[in-house]
A and B are shown apart, each in its own frame.
Chain A
Amino acid sequence: MELLQILPNLAMTAKLAIMTLLLLEEAWLAWLLPVPWVASMPLTKDLNVAIIDSNPALSSGVSIKKEEPPDPRVSTVTPATISIFKEIGAWKYIEQNRHAYFDKMQVWDYTGLGYTRYNARDANKEVLGCVVENRVLLSSLLSCLQSADFRKTIYPSRLLTLHRNSSSTKVDSHSSGLPLHGQGNLVKLDLIDGSSLHAKLVVGADGSKSRVRELAGIKTTGWNYSQNAIICTVEHAVENQCAWQRFLPAGPIALLPVGDNFSNIVWTMNPKEANDHKMMNGDEFIKDVNHALDYGFGPHPKSSMFGDGGIFSWLKADVTSASEFFEIPPKVIRLVSDRMMFPLSLMHANNYASKNIVLIGDSAHTVHPLAGQGVNLGFGDAFALSRVIAEGIAVGTDIGEVTMLKKFEVERKTANIAMMAILDGFQKAYSVDFGPLNILRAAAFHVAQHVSPLKRGIISYASGEQRLPLFS
């Protein structure tokens, strides 16, 4: 579409703000983040939203057969995210599909010197989180969006380039004769299929290799962990109701319940071993998994009996999990999906916002999966952005204005960087096998297990409590 053909459209949409969301195929959850929120709030529901995504699921929907085993790509959503979903009316769609709440978690390492058990009741909660397949999340947000009376246009293509008017516009004697101020504050986006559109605000929700971020010239800081993660779905003889994580010398292995008798495995290790594990035959892999969860690499920690907390015994009286015994995770009997492998890295964009452009989710930050926080940070970003946009519209702000977008950035940067620092700290602390450090870690396990205010604090933070929505 040529520029001149767009102008009549501009005139028609003269009174409307246009917001554009972009997405690449891999990061197919991302654009779903802010759109349903924006659709549900009264201040923002008149926005005209364009979604640029080449994922065919947008038009055809996501088909999930109940008999199928779970897809290995799952996310652990925290209670904060669950309440956000409930607020926009999307959680009911998730409950119609397979999902697994869990209220217990056990964390230990290979040295056998200590363990920590978390129970949701410690912090007066019902659940610690819920494990949901990514395609279920996608389908529920899609359903929520379709049922909302909201003006959206889907462009099944990918972004090629974008052009912003720089602030110092000078009259060029080569100018084509179009009045400069006709394009004004809008961003022009060109798509791969040749079409183009104008928008006031471009939200880049296109994953860690974000094209929007690249075009906006936003630099990032970060490093690659020399680790890859293997994910797959496995089956047990009994239902798994607890989340397990054991730190091994090369990286943690996590076993998360996904519903029925299935669990999801996320096993982090160095790239060579990861590749070996991806390639080896299924039975050998299962043997290795059971070995890693059980007696592999080191002994079981000794269970603490009630009254055996030592110097902490006076503190643990009100916490149920402090007296729980160490348990061995349920045995894995079958591998039911392909094994997928991903390299892990930490990345943080130096800025989340610049003129007319804002980044959310993985395009702004990626973290190690060891605490299941990545997607929750993204949902938190989306919710915060929708709120900031609503507040901006309430006082007539131009939604592409940097000052308003910076408010979002300041709010989320603090939260995201804090979480990233903690996760990175854990990753580094657990990657070194060094006697005194092992004992320090063991001491940390004991402290977390027995000091109940600390345990409650950990549970609250991991549940995303800082990001609970403020009901307007």
Chain B
Amino acid sequence: MAFKLPNQLRALYTATNYHHHHRILSPLAGASQSFVFSLRRLFADVPPLSDPSSAPPPLYPHSTKTSLAPSSLNQYELAKFAAIAETWWDSEGPFKPLHALNPTRLAFIRSTLCRHFRRDSYSAKPFEGLKFVDVGCGGGILSEPLARMGATVTGVDAVEKNIKIARLHADLDPSTSTIEYCCTTAEKLVEEQRTFDAVIALEVIEHVAEPAEFCKSLATLTVPGGATVISTINRSIRAYATAIIAAEYLLHWLPKGTHQWSSFLTPEELVLILQRASISVQEMAGFAYNPLTGRWSLSDDISVNFIAFGTKNSQ
């Protein structure tokens, strides 16, 4: 019985993960949280902890080792998350396409932002002293390289599990352990009146209910003269064939239903809603996939995946 639980956790995790960009906690995400609490109850044999961080956890009753310190229960929780955290970070696992795409996205970000902030592009840490926010950070695949490039990074995601995993993985490397992860939304950050030099939201906007409102929030988070980077999928026939049919049904890169073609934005629409939010798009590029080498590269073809860099009008 105990063996099945981690597997169920993993299965549930993989299913919920692709909805991690929803602004509102979806019923599925809520269910996953209560599932975690019920797990705790099973292992601890005590009533569920309402606030895990406040009450000191009791001694693990099934333990045969009496020398265990009182903190062993937290370690056990961490171990469970540590066991499945690797799927997010397993570059051969279900997130393989994202890992393959990541260096290409970073190349675009590095190139445009170095130019915008007038940083030396040959420096190993060009973003030193700049505050970045990664909206919809997931497991931190984008946040960590940005932190290594010297930026002060805040990663936000609406799904608690992702934040936990991101935190665990970031702590493995001293250069990324300074990343601040919060389980929150862009709107909540706006309420807290936080601002950043660069706001980055990659592969998020196609999952939000109100793209225009989302862009307004992103713009408010950006300081005047700062940068906003958004990437998404074009609403074109080619994108339907590639990103939905090929990726979801043929190659099984993503679970079916990850993307809705109707919620894709065309580049013109994105430029327009960003303009209404006082962000002028300066550069745009596309990602092209070479099936022979399995590598992604930047290209001028924005008919499927594209990324846009804009600056906040300074007024």
Give chain A's interface residues, CB within 8 Å of chain B: 10-11, 13-17, 42-44, 46, 167-171, 173, 177, 180-181, 184-185, 200, 393-398, 401-403
A44 CB contacts on chain B under 8 angstroms: 124
CB atoms of A10 and B174 under 8 A apart: yes
B91 contacts chain A at the CB level, 8 A cutoff: yes
If the complex has contacts A173-B63, A403-B99, are A395 and B145 also in contact, measured as CB distance less than 8 A? yes
CB atoms of A396 and B145 under 8 A apart: yes
- 20 CB contacts below 8 A, A to B, read A10-B174, A11-B174, A13-B174, A16-B175, A42-B123, A43-B123, A46-B124, A46-B125, A168-B86, A169-B82, A173-B65, A394-B107, A395-B145, A396-B144, A396-B147, A397-B148, A398-B144, A398-B148, A401-B91, A403-B99
B83 contacts chain A at the CB level, 8 A cutoff: yes
CB atoms of A171 and B76 under 8 A apart: yes
Which chain B residue lies CB-closest to A14? Answer: B174
Q: Contacting A396 at CB < 8 Å: which of B91, B106, B168, B171?
A: B106
Interface 1/0 per residue, B77-119 and A, CB below 8 Å: 0110011001000110000000100110011001000000000
B122 contacts chain A at the CB level, 8 A cutoff: yes
Main DSSP-derived SS at the A contact region: loop
A13 CB contacts on chain B under 8 angstroms: 174
If the complex has contacts A44-B124, A46-B124, A171-B78, are A395 and B110 also in contact, measured as CB distance less than 8 A? yes
CA distance A395 to B151 in the complex (A): 12
B68 CB contacts on chain A under 8 angstroms: 173
CB atoms of A394 and B174 under 8 A apart: no
B292 CB contacts on chain A under 8 angstroms: none
B9 CB contacts on chain A under 8 angstroms: none
B5 contacts chain A at the CB level, 8 A cutoff: no
A43 CB contacts on chain B under 8 angstroms: 122-124
Q: Name the interface residues of B178-220: CB closer than 8 Å to any CB of A.
A: none
Main DSSP-derived SS at the B contact region: helix
- In the complex, given contacts A170-B83, A402-B91, what are 6 additional A-B residue pairs having Cβ atoms less than 8 angstroms apart? A13-B174, A171-B72, A171-B82, A184-B171, A394-B124, A396-B147
B69 CB contacts on chain A under 8 angstroms: 177
CA distance A274 to B148 in the complex (A): 55
Q: Residues of B within 8 Å of A, CB-based: how many?
A: 37
CB atoms of A17 and B99 under 8 A apart: no
CA distance A403 to B90 in the complex (A): 10
A398 CB contacts on chain B under 8 angstroms: 144, 148, 173
CB atoms of B144 and A394 under 8 A apart: no
CB atoms of A171 and B172 under 8 A apart: no
B76 CB contacts on chain A under 8 angstroms: 171
Q: Contacting B148 at CB < 8 Å: which of A42, A169, A396?
A: A396
Q: Name the interface residues of B116-157: CB closer than 8 Å to any CB of A.
A: 122-125, 144-149
B282 CB contacts on chain A under 8 angstroms: none
CA distance A168 to B124 in the complex (A): 31
**Closest approach, in angstroms, between the C-beta of A223 and any C-beta of chain B?**
32
CB atoms of A185 and B144 under 8 A apart: no
CA distance A403 to B96 in the complex (A): 10
CA distance A10 to B173 in the complex (A): 10
CB atoms of A397 and B172 under 8 A apart: no
CA distance A185 to B102 in the complex (A): 20
B91 CB contacts on chain A under 8 angstroms: 401-403
B75 contacts chain A at the CB level, 8 A cutoff: yes
CA distance A167 to B85 in the complex (A): 10
Most buried by B among A10, A44, A397: A397
If the complex has contacts A14-B175, A43-B122, A168-B83, are A395 and B106 also in contact, measured as CB distance less than 8 A? yes
CA distance A168 to B146 in the complex (A): 26
CA distance A13 to B175 in the complex (A): 9
B168 CB contacts on chain A under 8 angstroms: 181
Q: Name the interface residues of B14-64: CB closer than 8 Å to any CB of A.
A: 63
CB atoms of A42 and B122 under 8 A apart: yes
Most buried by A among B75, B145, B149, B174: B174
CB atoms of B173 and A185 under 8 A apart: yes
Which chain B residue lies CB-closest to A390? Answer: B124
CA distance A398 to B76 in the complex (A): 27
Which chain A residue lies CB-closest to B105? Answer: A395
Q: Contacting B110 at CB < 8 Å: which of A168, A184, A394?
A: A394
**Closest approach, in angstroms, between the C-beta of A472 and any C-beta of chain B?**
9
CB atoms of A171 and B75 under 8 A apart: yes
A-B pairs, top 7 by smallest CB distance, nearest first, are A396-B145, A184-B172, A14-B174, A171-B79, A396-B148, A395-B106, A42-B122
B82 CB contacts on chain A under 8 angstroms: 169-171, 180-181
Which chain A residue lies CB-closest to B172? Answer: A184
CB atoms of B107 and A395 under 8 A apart: yes
Most buried by A among B78, B147, B149, B172: B172
CA distance A14 to B178 in the complex (A): 10
Q: Contacting B171 at CB < 8 Å: which of A181, A394, A403?
A: A181
